[in-house]
Amino acid sequence: MGPKAKINKLLKQFPEFAQQFPEIPSLLYKALDNAQQRKLALLREHIDSHQRNTLWAMIAAATLISLAVWFQ
């Protein structure tokens, strides 16, 4: 398909595109909002994972300290 054919095809589809132009800002907003929500969800998962690891590290440290004091 040559350049002229592509231009003609685009011109034939232009009325359909023109009808959808008013929806573009809201579609962009939704896409950006969805991307932000996914990013926040991943960040929450990351924070939760690190929080669990920190909790287990604190429990292990408290256990070791308690054992060290007990057997001193």
Is residue 50 included in any domain, yes or no? yes
Q: Where are the alpha helices (DSSP H) in 1-72?
A: 3-20, 24-70
Count how many domains the chain has. Answer: 1
Mean of per-residue pLDDT scores for the chain: 92
Tokens 């994972």 correspond to 49
Percent pLDDT > 70 in the chain is 100
Q: What is the pLDDT of residue 2?
A: 87
pLDDT digits (tens, 9 = 90+) for 15-50: 888 888 898 899 999 999 999 999 999 999 999 999
The structure's pTM equals: 0.54
Please give the structure tokens belonging to residue 4.
Answer: 């002229």
Q: Could you list the residue range(s) of the whole structural domain that residue 63 is in?
A: 23-72
Is residue 27 included in any domain, yes or no? yes
Q: What is the pLDDT of residue 34?
A: 94
CA–CA gap between residue 64 and residue 70 (Å, rounded):
10
Q: Please give the DSSP secondary-structure letter assigned to residue 23.
A: G
Confidence category of residue 55, pLDDT binned at 50, 70, 90:
very high
Is residue 15 included in any domain, yes or no? no
